[in-house]
Chains A and B, each alone.
Chain A
């Protein structure tokens, strides 16, 4: 049994607990002993991306403290994993002890599909999901963590799942955290392009590795009255 600490992320905890539950099931199916450090809250990405580095440091310190001893930290979110991996070492570069810890925690932090495929070498979780599915590669997973084949490979192994290509897949959905509030109309325009592409793919379900993008996409699908559902990758992989 591989010991794994789950960083469930704040959005999953409060908005999409079923994604957290699915993540636990998937990790257990892959042979992991999952722990959930209950002191965790948020990685600070929202503050950091918006320029509030002091606030991000406050939450980052907490995160480092909570996960200091975790053997591996797995999150159902490419953007939160990317925050820890890419930006924590930068955020704490002027604090020697924390800088060392930040680099160490960063090196142990993974997005779910990344951990399954690259670390555990698992590509088939024995899942079954009878639906036509298209995959939206979230920007931070795709370009931050370099996740290209990992999520697709996992989806291809799912029984009865028909994977269809998303046109212009690498295009951002327009969420961008505060961007979606600050530049609300622009974010809506970017979303609209993404939704057109999702509908053009012919999929019944759109999936991704980040609930933040999915929240945005699903809000748009709902507003459009579309029948396409938005599900996190873990929810599909947990299907049996």
Chain B
């Protein structure tokens, strides 16, 4: 090869790179950057479709109002509780399931394949499913409890604020955890077996191996799981909508911040305030992600 053809090839390469990458980059950019800018701008306006005459630029007033908005504070508290349970419960369960399926045994593959079932069920169907299972008159849960003689009168699960929140948490964990477990299994397989061999020779039992070898080696994966699950939990919407008939009830018990943003924007038609609320949610997502990176992050390591 002569020098000239090389530079020609390089030039061709560069052209290829730009042409190949740009459609995707531009699509993502156009459908995210413009709307994001628009949303930021919108959050600086008083714009309520129910008060068409009152539109005005008000600067940061929407955000100031958020800081003292009792509805928002309550939603924030609910979101926090919801995230606490689903993130820690979900990730712990995922690691537990992965540890259960780590070593080969007959039936392991079946269990692994079935982990895909909850993942593949669309969120709307997930909502309908749990709504039916916990239904007061036709619910499977009440039927089982009555069959066991634990129940005198049927429990109205979805009419009680606390219980509804519990059902919501259960439905989220059921749907999302198995997939996290699959990812955890994958990372566990990447742990070199020499370490386990060494640990065994040093006399470590199963528990020791799990705590002293598996978990430390899963640090990066754990960070990833916590980030992903936190994002999912903060952004939960579909299941709430279906489970509560689009209300976020009973008594607003399941109105998390994301659902409140939806209600504000699309039910109360308070677009400016809804945008401010949405931007705040985005800031929270970023803050939580940053928090996990600070707690568990290391210098970046490329996965093989």
User: Is A bound to B?
Assistant: no
